[in-house]
Structure 1
Amino acid sequence: MTPILAIDDDLRAFVAAKPVGESAVFDMSALIRLDTAGAWLIDRTVASLEAQGVKVSYEGLKEGHKILLDKVGEGGVPKPTVPERSSLYVEVVGRIGAAVVAMGLETLTFVEFLGHVLATIWRSIRHPSRFRLTPLVHHMEKAGFDALPLVCLLTFLIGAVIAQQGATQLRRFGADVFTVNLIAIIFLREVGILLTAIIVAGRSGSAFTAEIGSMKMREEIDAMRTLGLDPMDMLVVPRVLALLFTMPLLAFIGDIMGLIGGGVVAVMQLNMSPAVYIERLRAAADFWTFGVGLLKAPFMAIVIALVGCRAGLDVTGSAESVGTQTTSSVVRSIFLVIILDAIFAMFFTAVGI
């Protein structure tokens, strides 16, 4: 019995010598036993010779040895896998089902996080020493006061645009005097709060995710837990309460600036005096016209803050994850804000408000 290493050296030397001719014959008639290692050496040699353009054949090959060589050859070159193609209907239904399941899991996770935040707030009410006043004031300044210039500018411009477009269209029917009614109803009930919420979601919601995500990436949140500090008390609750307190104020100021923008256009384009504009506003808008928009503000603030904070806590240990979660939080916040606004609109319409 020849050692396997000696056979390996002989076969390597044979291949390295580059045999002359277009064919090579392996005489297997004297071969008594063949194991997997020997079959693999023969298969490797045959593959090397065929790569050099040499055609290899066997003589005196027993049936059992042939089966073993074929199996070893099949194992060395895996067969290409052909993916199973399902019908378009099955693929579409599968994707819809996966999206529904993912949405359901996301909803359950969001509700669980909301419950955790509410439990933490209740614990802070029962034990006021746990409440963090300084972070609350800090985030109220960042999310509220610092956002005022942007909210005022954009709501003023949107109010002016609505008034200009409304006056242009209503003039065709001789009803341009109702432009004030259009501004009051559209801006106070829908556009003012919705525009403010989108600005806050893109500005403050993304900031919440980036701040908490950076702390998560640097393992500062783990350090807080090691020191016995609850990240919900330190990071989440102050941000949620700050946005809850400041969002109605931002919506109120946004409504006022939108009405002022519409008034400027009404005075310039409709030759309406400021006194007449204010009088028509009072006639067009009652308490609920103004209150419906403000009533939506706390709910939208909670949604934006929860989505932003939860996305920050979901950050993993990479900078790419911070960017991904920040983008995701903005998209989810705006989506949920619009859905919430639609639900409120249908509800108030159903109850006659």
Structure 2
Amino acid sequence: MNDLSKDHHLTISAEGEALRLAGEFTVWTLPQLPESAASARHIDLSGLTRFDTAAAWYLAQRRASGAVLAGMTPGQDKLLESVIAASPGPDTATAADPFWHRLLEGIGQRVTRALIFLREIAEYLGRFLAALARAIRHPADFRLTSFVHHCQETGLRAVPIVALMSFLIGVVLAFQGAVQLQQFGAEVFVVDLIAISILRELGILLTAIIVAGRTASALTASIGSMKMREEIDAMRTLGMDPDMVLILPRVLALVVTLPILGLIADVAGLVGGGLMTWYELGISPAMFRYRLITETDVDHVIVGMLKAPVFAVVIGIIGCHAGMKVGKDAESLGAQTSTAVVNAIFAVIVLDALFSIFFAEVGL
């Protein structure tokens, strides 16, 4: 820089608070200004022969601090104004939005995301129904081996945990019901409590929740890992329909196996409740069976079983949808798996509440 500045000349004259500059005032001569120039209140620029943006930036700062600039040509003044206009200004603090504004904005965003999610679920439901119709018209296109495999994974392997859970729920219902009803001498109604609770609500509901946590995550993980390895894109390249190969066998397997699991849960729950009433209240298995057959309407079983296929379709669709939404990284796979489990369980509980209201209104 010093070698380049040898051909540049700047004459500086200082008198008190007045400063006069003559010659070339550029980035090369700017370091020649003495420290006293910072306190000058009047700067005469009439003797300048050359002027660049570095000098203009310096003069802009001096003018902002209160110094008077005199003797500038129109071209120099225009350059100074351009530099001032292009200089970054101080950040202006924006006023914070009111609390109600932020609250409504957050609610609106969540409602929008929920509507988008429902639209996508409806799309995947339509894709499943279209694939099912195609399989009915062309049975040779249906993947029977894949269907049997998923029936084993989602149904047969879930029998132990479903039976154990329902058995323990029956035990708890019988014990808690016995404690409460003994106060009124109505111990025999424990049988009705167990039968209606398990056959109508708890048997299929808790089974669906277990399947939602177990199967929705498995569907998301299996399809998501294929999505990460670009196997689904390869299927499309080979002319294979992912809906027929991936979605239809998995969802259909759930539709077949979830009602069976619900029946197993009902039987296990009744057995657990019967054993606890025998132990706690002395109601024999024969008496329990007689009370169950004579006082329990078959409508309770029908209500419970009607829910099973709907729960199965919703769980399967949510799991497949989440698997198809997985990106290219493992973090996306984990996030979508957790989301699928939460959404599936939430959907099952909401549907069960809607079913309860509907059956109450129609008197079933």
TM-score range for the pair, normalised by the shorter chain length: 0.7 to 0.9
Q: Tell me: CA distance 1:20–1:110, structure 2 relative to 1, closer, same or farther (3 Å).
A: same
User: Hey, what's the Cα distance between the residues in 1 that align with 2:71 and 2:148?
Assistant: 88
Q: 1:60 aligns with which of 70, 73, 78?
A: 70
- 1:134-283 alignment to 2 at 5 Å? 134-283=145-294
Secondary structure (helix, strand or coil) at the match of 2:27 reads helix
Determine the structure 1 residue equivalent to 2:13. none
Identity over the aligned pairs, expressed in percent? 45
**Is 1:342 the counterpart of 2:353 in the alignment?**
yes
Determine the structure 1 residue equivalent to 2:26. 7
Q: 2:135 aligns with which of 119, 124, 129?
A: 124
Deviations 1:207-247 (A, max 9, x none): 00111111111111111111111111111111011111100
Task: Point out the structure with the larger strand share.
Answer: 2
- Contact 2:228-2:329 at 8 Å conserved across structures: yes
Q: Tell me: CA distance 1:78–1:213, structure 2 relative to 1, closer, same or farther (3 Å).
A: farther
User: Hey, what's the Cα distance between the residues in 1 that align with 2:361 and 2:138?
Assistant: 41
Determine the structure 2 residue equivalent to 1:23. 38
Secondary structure (helix, strand or coil) at the match of 1:86 reads coil
Secondary structure (helix, strand or coil) at the match of 2:48 reads coil
Identify unmatched segments of 5+ residues in structure 1: 50-54
Deviations 1:155-181 (A, max 9, x none): 111221122112112222222221111
1:57 Cα offset (Å): 5.2
- The count of corresponding residues between Structure 1 and Structure 2 is 339
User: Hey, what's the Cα distance between the residues in 2 that align with 1:140 and 1:81?
Assistant: 63
1:255 Cα offset (Å): 1.0
- Contact 1:185-1:284 at 8 Å conserved across structures: no
TM-score, normalization by structure 2: 0.84
- Contact 2:147-2:252 at 8 Å conserved across structures: yes
- Contact 2:314-2:344 at 8 Å conserved across structures: yes
Secondary structure (helix, strand or coil) at the match of 1:8 reads coil
- Contact 1:132-1:238 at 8 Å conserved across structures: yes
* The structure with more radius of gyration: 2
User: Hey, what's the Cα distance between the residues in 2 that align with 1:310 and 1:219?
Assistant: 16
User: Hey, what's the Cα distance between the residues in 2 that align with 1:42 and 1:326?
Assistant: 60
Q: Which amino acid aligns with 1:30?
A: G
Secondary structure (helix, strand or coil) at the match of 1:29 reads strand
1:141 Cα offset (Å): 0.6
Q: Tell me: CA distance 1:45–1:209, structure 2 relative to 1, closer, same or farther (3 Å).
A: farther
Q: Tell me: CA distance 1:152–1:181, structure 2 relative to 1, closer, same or farther (3 Å).
A: same
Identify unmatched segments of 5+ residues in structure 2: 1-6, 10-23
- Contact 2:181-2:190 at 8 Å conserved across structures: yes
1:111 Cα offset (Å): 1.3
Q: Which amino acid aligns with 1:315?
A: V
Q: Tell me: CA distance 1:66–1:178, structure 2 relative to 1, closer, same or farther (3 Å).
A: farther
Q: 1:309 aligns with which of 303, 309, 320?
A: 320
Determine the structure 2 residue equivalent to 1:43. 57
Secondary structure (helix, strand or coil) at the match of 1:172 reads helix
User: Hey, what's the Cα distance between the residues in 1 that align with 2:227 and 2:303?
Assistant: 38
Q: Tell me: CA distance 1:338–1:57, structure 2 relative to 1, closer, same or farther (3 Å).
A: same
Q: Which amino acid aligns with 2:118?
A: T
- Contact 1:46-1:56 at 8 Å conserved across structures: no
Deviations 1:113-163 (A, max 9, x none): 211111111111111121101111111111011111111111111221122
User: Hey, what's the Cα distance between the residues in 2 that align with 1:83 and 1:320?
Assistant: 35
Secondary structure (helix, strand or coil) at the match of 1:23 reads helix
1:283 Cα offset (Å): 2.6
Superposition CA RMSD, Å: 2.9
- Contact 1:205-1:308 at 8 Å conserved across structures: yes
1:337 Cα offset (Å): 0.7
- The structure, 1 or 2, with the larger RCO (C-alpha pairs under 8 Å, 6+ apart) is 1
